[in-house]
Chain A
Amino acid sequence: MSRSLQLGPDGRLVHLLSTEGLPAETLRHILDTADQFVSVNEREVKKVPLLRGRSLFNVFFENSTRTRTTFEIAAKRLSADVVNLNIGASSTAKGESLLDTVWNLQAMDADMFVVRHKEAGAPHLVARHVKPGVHVINAGDGRHAHPTQGLLDVYTIRHYKKDFSRLVVAIVGDILHSRVARSQIHALKTLGVPEVRVIGPRTLLPADVERLGVRVFHDMAAGLRGCDVVMTLRLQSERMSGPLLPSAGEFNKAYGLTPEKLAQASPDAIVMHPGPMNRGVEIDSSVADGGQSVIMPQVTFGIAVRMAVMAILAGNA
């Protein structure tokens, strides 16, 4: 039986498509490797030659300047050549299929693809069709997964809380549409976090969310009580008014993270957000910029975690 598309026959990581199904050992290997790269990023020369002579293609079928930039910085600090392709604006408009695009890039000797697509499973499709030795990293596919975000979040938690085995972690907001939440939950459960809570209105929680091993709360105060980590999610603007929510203001009143609501959590709880934030919707400015916020360190650690993933994949040819 094949272990999954992500792991080679010897169990080594060959693509990063999802945090689901990755063994704890693999996750820890990525986090430990990221530790090394955090120190590289603090040096005078923020560059190491591991990916020298290799080409990484950022293939984004869905726009995202921020995520693409973090992958670009990570690859450049590993000395890779980076090509950014905003496909939304070019080939698909001309009718080229996803695989045609990838095959064309592969013919240009790409070694690694970072793929973002609005359809779940698109990076998996690419991974199934690339040559051996070519690696694929999922940079977000539909509502399915965003594994490097999930990994940088668990890296940040480990940095501040050291030990996963006694933590209570709450994820707040639009779980239903969030590939980030799914990647976080799988990583947290695999690494042994005993209690992962999801907090949100019924309309923004998947019907079968308990199957992921989480506790469900609809009341913010109850859900936050005693939490060590509060992870807020971005509320997509297209969901702020519509059938699922009355308004952004109503959402903020019930689920926006304010100092008063945060007071329910443990006094040394950390506050996280994957960015970009809607201040005054899912999180208040006083919390986002407050003493418990680790939102900016998340961004910094994100570079190191993406460097770790790329270096591990490149070494597992």
Chain B
Amino acid sequence: MAARLPEAEALIDSLAQALRGSVNSETGLVGIYSGGAWVAQRLHRALGLQLPVGQLAITLHRDDFDRIGLHREQRRSHLPFPVEGRDILLVDDVLHTGRTIRAALNELWDFGRPKSVRLVALVDRGGRELPIAADFTGAKVDVDAGESLVLSEENGRLRLTAVKASP
């Protein structure tokens, strides 16, 4: 069993504190589906940002398409502001191998060339397979290799749980 996991809501509060000095009225906040999008919505509210929050679906840039094919996917990227020349805060829930972030960056670039991208992760579980690091992290956590960290929403509250990864 992994050690006790931190409270997701408390991590979001501390992330919002950490980000406060690093955003302005032109900053674009973008969450990666699905957990990252939830976290981005919370941060957006907490920071009182003016631009609407964006969402990225990474299906079309995944690197395991050859193995898993194209599954039914209703989620779509939605960027309600021009990406070109903008400072972007990219938000994900669990930072692990870094492959999701690589795909998200490719997806983001299909909408334009941002001025900068900084990465915000609710939790970092280590295990990177790519040279990717977060600029803002809620907490570092230890999870057994055979487990997945899942962010879920219950009664309007976000919660982190560790579940046995499907083989």
Contacts and interface: CB of A to CB of B under 8 A. Distances in A.
Contacts of B81: none
A50 B60 contact: yes
A317 B66 contact: yes
A50 B70 contact: yes
Contacts of A12: 69
Interface residues of chain B: helix, strand, loop or mixed (majority): loop
Contact of A50 (B65, B72, B112): B65
Nearest to B59: A36
Contact of B72 (A29, A44, A317): A29
A162 to B, nearest CB: 15
B65 A33 contact: no
Contacts of B74: 32, 35
Contact residues on A (Cβ < 8 Å of other chain), bracket: 20 to 34
Nearest to B71: A315
A243 interface: no
Given A32-B74, A40-B60, A315 B110 contact: no
Interface string B59-100: 111000110111011101100000010000000000000000
Contact of A36 (B65, B73, B106): B73
A44 B69 contact: no
A48 interface: yes
A316 B65 CA distance: 10
B109 to A, nearest CB: 7
Interface in A15-60: 29, 32-33, 35-36, 39-40, 43-45, 47-50
Contacts of B72: 29, 32-33
A35 B60 contact: no
Nearest to A36: B76
B57 to A, nearest CB: 8
B12 to A, nearest CB: 28
Contact of A317 (B57, B69, B77, B109): B69
Contacts of B65: 50, 314-315
Interface in A194-213: none
A311 B112 contact: no
A312 interface: yes
A44 B70 CA distance: 23
Contact of A43 (B59, B68, B84, B111): B111
A44 B77 CA distance: 13
Contacts of A48: 60-61, 110
Given A43-B111, A44-B112, A50-B60, A315 B76 contact: no
A29 B69 CA distance: 13
A195 B135 CA distance: 58
A262 B109 CA distance: 46
B21 to A, nearest CB: 31
The 3 closest A-B pairs by CB, nearest first: A315-B69, A315-B70, A48-B60
16 contacts: A33-B72, A33-B73, A35-B74, A36-B73, A39-B76, A39-B77, A45-B111, A47-B110, A49-B60, A49-B61, A50-B60, A311-B70, A312-B69, A314-B65, A315-B68, A317-B69
Given A45-B110, A314-B70, 7 more contacts: A36-B76, A44-B110, A45-B111, A48-B110, A50-B60, A315-B68, A316-B69
